[in-house]
Amino acid sequence: MDRRMFVAVASAAVVGHRIPRAFAAPSPLKPMAVGLLIKPFGAPEERIKRVRDMGFSNCFLSLDDYLGRFTTDLVPIYRDLLEKYEVVATTVEVVGPQPLVWDFLRGPSTIGLIPNETRVARMDALRQVSDFAHQLGIRQVQTHCGFIPEDPADPKYPGAVEAIRAVAQHCQGNGQSFLMETGQETPTTMARMLRDVGMPNLGVGLDTANLILYGKANPVDAVDILGPHIRSVHAKDGRWPTDPSKLGEEVLIGKGIVDFKRVFAKLHAVGYTGAITIERETSGPQQIEDVRSEKIYLENILREVLA
């Protein structure tokens, strides 16, 4: 397979489990291949090259800084860079526009598609990134939907259902899955939303640490509830919140309480074959050092699980 054909196949891949046949595509990635979340704005070649130089085959694109800037000239730039460095872009994500406050006090009123004040703008942002990804052949769009009400009788719940359905329908028109990232809600609440939206392309992006950072669930148990719907995974570690105003602490993978061996074993058991994307929320040289050690840690566990 030459490089151009590689990228054509790679970009068309849907990474995940039990995706409806209409959204399925052959993947050039090995099952549960470890990848890296990057924010490429301002230095796309440097960031994509780093993915390959660090030994990753795939990346997850966080694109909030491109909101309002998804011009047509970006498409060939990204297509050429992914081809040049033979990197598969599995998923795109936006969570903006602002305001976004990642805590327990203002988070419920600022994060995701739940707050009425920012819902229309966030839906528009997701449509923008879906259309951009569609031109690159990227078949998964992900976001935090926010603090989904646990009470389905909450007056905010019907509007949230309609908003998520509308975005999922737009992604469906682009041949994409729309993924809700875990964190602000219990796995049962997310399962209810999956049922109530009722779209075949709606799935789950499992963030192993967010469930802990928000005090909502253990990721091992979350796989029991959400397993058939998980189509992407963020590998991240953390500790439970001890201050009721602040989220728990994200830490180096292996230093928190996520039991990655059990999470991966359960994902493997339900047939998940998608990427395992490292997300390390540090920056600069420390982030690079952390990611290198996390990659080794995860790949050692995955070799044992997949043996």
- Supply the pLDDT for residue 294: 98
Q: How far is the C-alpha of 285 from the C-alpha of 175, rounded, in Å?
A: 38
Asked which of 27-41, 119-133, 212-226, 255-269 is least confident by mean pLDDT, the reply is 27-41
What's the Cα-to-Cα distance from 290 to each of 1, 59, 89, 280, rounded to whole Å? 33, 17, 21, 7
Which pLDDT value is given to residue 283? Answer: 86
Say which residues have a Cβ less than 8 Å from residue 206's Cβ, sequence separation at least 6: 182, 219, 222, 223, 226, 230, 232, 233, 234, 267
Instruction: Quote the CA–CA distance of 163 and 129 in Å, as a whole number.
Output: 16
State yes or no: pLDDT of 46 exceeds 70: yes
Report strand pairing: 58-62 vs 88-93.
Answer: parallel
Residues 31/66, Cβ–Cβ less than 8 Å: no
- The number of folded domains in the chain is 1
Task: Report the mean per-residue pLDDT for the chain.
Answer: 92
Give me the pLDDT at residue 3, please.
42
User: Tokens representing 102?
Assistant: 């990642």
- The type of residue at 132 is F
Is residue 241 within 8 Å of 215, Cβ to Cβ?
yes
Q: What is the CATH number of the domain that holds 82?
A: 3.20.20.150
Beta strands in the chain (DSSP E): 34-38, 58-62, 88-93, 140-143, 177-181, 202-207, 230-235, 237-238, 250-251, 276-278
Q: How many whole angstroms separate alpha carbon 255 and alpha carbon 239?
A: 9
Residue 35 token pair: 């990848």
What are the distances in angstroms from CA 151 to CA 193, 245, 265? 11, 22, 32
Each residue of 4-25: pLDDT tens digit?
A: 333 333 443 333 333 333 343 4
Q: Indicate whether 208 pLDDT > 80.
A: yes
Phi-psi region of 62 (alpha: psi -120 to 50; beta: other; left: phi over 0): beta
* Tokens matching residue 15: 């990474």
In the chain, the percentage of residues whose pLDDT exceeds 70 is: 91
pLDDT in the model for residue 27? 59
The number of angstroms, rounded, from the C-alpha of 271 to the middle of its chain's C-alpha atoms is 18
Reading the block at residue 304, the tokens are: 């044992």
pLDDT score, position 20? 36
Ranges 17-31, 260-274, 281-295: which has the least confidence: 17-31
- Distance in angstroms (rounded) separating the CA atoms of residues 266 and 276: 14
**Alpha carbon 231 to its chain's center:** 9
- Which structure tokens are listed for 46? 């440097």
Which domain range does residue 192 map to?
3-306
Q: For strand 250-251 and strand 237-238, is the pairing parallel, antiparallel, or unpaired?
A: antiparallel
Looking at residue 159, the DSSP 8-state letter turns out to be H
User: Comparing 80 with 16, which gets the higher pLDDT?
Assistant: 80
pLDDT tops 90 at residue 196: yes
Give residue 280's pLDDT band: very low, low, confident or very high (50, 70, 90): very high
